């Protein structure tokens, strides 16, 4: 599954799942633009990809803010060329009972997790239309498949990502662009480690008795980004260790 000659954007590539996606896509030959709010994280990932023999640039910026997205796209095109692969991975989470979710917290969550992918996709899809080839992979969440307590804003934002995936898959069905989503289950990343959950205790309750690894998600993304996945669109590739057989 070579991605040689392709340019990929990975939002939130500075750590966690996005970092693993950047590495796996680069290992398959893609030139990767690591977009992240955290400039140091983006540079760390890009430098590690280059050390491993790949091509990557760090593009610091907010993937949920229109002017920053436009600037990031301009830099990416100038340094790597038109973008063929987009992984909308940047996201955040929060744990709050529904009654405690403020309007601001709601807007922030939807802004980062759903408006972000809207803005970035809108910015980059013209490159794919011009090439007659594109791969969009959205990172959703198993919580939007099953529901989850004390995360209504997060679950709603990720449900929106699933809807966006299906809508764009249909809209671009005959344009050489596929649009799919990967809902991770419980993946051991800094995001999860920073939350209130005891990662090791939860991992022990998983069917496979372990949390997922960022690489587990990255390999699914690499497949969906490949030429070989050209007849797969609008689909869900769940990476959850059999936790939710849906
Ligand atoms: N870890 C899990 O168990 C899990 C489960 C389901 C879904 N997900 C989803 O996977 C994605 C990655 O999660 P993770 O666990 O690796 O998180 P993480 O917090 O470890 O990494 C996320 C990265 O995204 C960046 N980021 C956040 N907001 C951004 C913005 N507006 N613009 C640019 N960069 C931004 C952060 O700086 C960070 O480097 C998220 O969309 C998350 O919702 C994670």
Is the CB–ligand 1 distance for residue 37 below 6 Å? Answer: yes
**Number of residues assigned to the chain:** 246
Q: What is the pLDDT of residue 58?
A: 99
Catalytic residue positions, numbered: 154
> Mind listing the pLDDT tens digit for each residue in 72-114?
999 999 999 999 999 999 999 999 999 999 999 999 999 999 9
- Which ligand 1 atom sits nearest the alpha carbon of residue 190? 20
235 domain residue, yes or no: no
What is the SS3 assignment for the chain?
CCCCCCEEEEECCCCHHHHHHHHHHHHCCCEEEEEECCHHHHHHHHHHHHHCCCEEEEEECCCCCHHHHHHHHHHHHHHHCCCCEEEECCCCCCCCCHHHCCHHHHHHHHHHHHHHHHHHHHHHHHHHHHHCCEEEEEECCCHHHHCCCCCHHHHHHHHHHHHHHHHHHHHCCCCCEEEEEECECCECCHHHHHCCCCHHHHHHCCCCCCCECHHHHHHHHHHHCCHHHCCCCCCECCECCCCCCC
pLDDT exceeds 70 at position 246: no
85, 3 in Cβ contact below 8 A? Answer: yes
What CA–CA distances, in Å, run from 62 to 12, 13, 214, 226? Answer: 9, 12, 22, 27
Q: Whose CA is nearest to atom 42 of ligand 1?
A: 91
Q: Whose CA is nearest to atom 24 of ligand 1?
A: 12
Q: What is the pLDDT of residue 196?
A: 86
241 domain residue, yes or no: no
Is the CB–ligand 1 distance for residue 226 below 6 Å? Answer: no
- Which ligand 1 atom sits nearest the alpha carbon of residue 186? 3
Residues with Cβ < 8 Å from 205, sequence gap 6 or more? none
- Domain total in the chain: 1
Is the CB–ligand 1 distance for residue 60 below 6 Å? Answer: no
Residue with tokens 């790597």: 80
Angle at 121 between CA 106 and CA 17, to 5 degrees: 70
Is the CB–ligand 1 distance for residue 117 below 6 Å? Answer: no
Q: What is the pLDDT of residue 121?
A: 99
238 domain residue, yes or no: no
Residue 182 Cα to ligand 1 midpoint, Å, equals 13
Residue 113 Cα to ligand 1 midpoint, Å, equals 9
Is the CB–ligand 1 distance for residue 241 below 6 Å? Answer: no
Percent of the chain with pLDDT over 90: 97
Is the CB–ligand 1 distance for residue 237 below 6 Å? Answer: no
Residue 199 Cα to ligand 1 midpoint, Å, equals 16
On average, the pLDDT of the chain sits at 97
Spatial separation of the C-alpha atoms in residues 172 and 134, rounded to whole Å: 10
239 domain residue, yes or no: no
161 domain residue, yes or no: yes
42 domain residue, yes or no: yes
178 domain residue, yes or no: yes
Is the CB–ligand 1 distance for residue 110 below 6 Å? Answer: no
Which whole number is the average pLDDT over 38-45?
A: 98
Cα-Cα-Cα-Cα dihedral sign, residues 221, 222, 223, 226: positive
Q: Torsion angle of alpha carbons 64, 67, 69, 71, nearest 10°?
A: -150
CATH number at residue 177: 3.40.50.720
* Structural domain for 146, as ranges: 7-229
66 domain residue, yes or no: yes
> Mind listing the pLDDT tens digit for each residue in 187-212?
999 999 998 889 999 999 999 999 99
- Which ligand 1 atom sits nearest the alpha carbon of residue 17? 16
Spatial separation of the C-alpha atoms in residues 91 and 17, rounded to whole Å: 10
């Amino acid at each position: 599954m070579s991605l040689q000659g392709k340019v990929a954007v990975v939002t939130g590539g500075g750590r966690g799942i996005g970092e693993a996606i950047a590495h796996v896509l680069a290992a398959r030959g893609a030139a990767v633009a690591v977009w992240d709010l955290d400039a140091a994280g983006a540079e760390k990932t890009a430098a590690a990809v280059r050390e491993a023999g790949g091509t990557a640039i760090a593009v610091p910026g907010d993937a949920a803010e229109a002017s920053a997205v436009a600037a990031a796209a301009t830099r990416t095109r100038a340094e790597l060329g038109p973008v063929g692969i987009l992984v909308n991975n940047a996201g955040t989470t929060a744990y709050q009972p529904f009654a405690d979710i403020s309007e601001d917290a709601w807007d922030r969550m939807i802004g980062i997790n759903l408006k972000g992918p809207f803005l970035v996709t809108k910015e980059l899809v013209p490159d794919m239309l011009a090439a007659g080839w594109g791969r969009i992979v959205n990172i959703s969440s198993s919580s939007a498949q099953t529901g989850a307590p004390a995360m209504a804003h997060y679950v709603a934002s990720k449900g929106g990502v699933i809807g966006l995936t299906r809508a764009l898959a249909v809209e671009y069905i005959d344009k050489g662009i596929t649009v799919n989503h990967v809902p991770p289950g419980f993946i051991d990343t800094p995001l999860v480690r920073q939350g209130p959950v005891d990662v090791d205790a939860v991992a022990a309750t998983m069917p496979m008795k372990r949390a997922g690894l960022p690489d587990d998600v990255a390999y699914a993304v690499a497949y969906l980004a490949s030429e070989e996945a050209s007849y797969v669109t609008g689909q869900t590739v769940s990476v959850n260790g059999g936790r939710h057989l849906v």
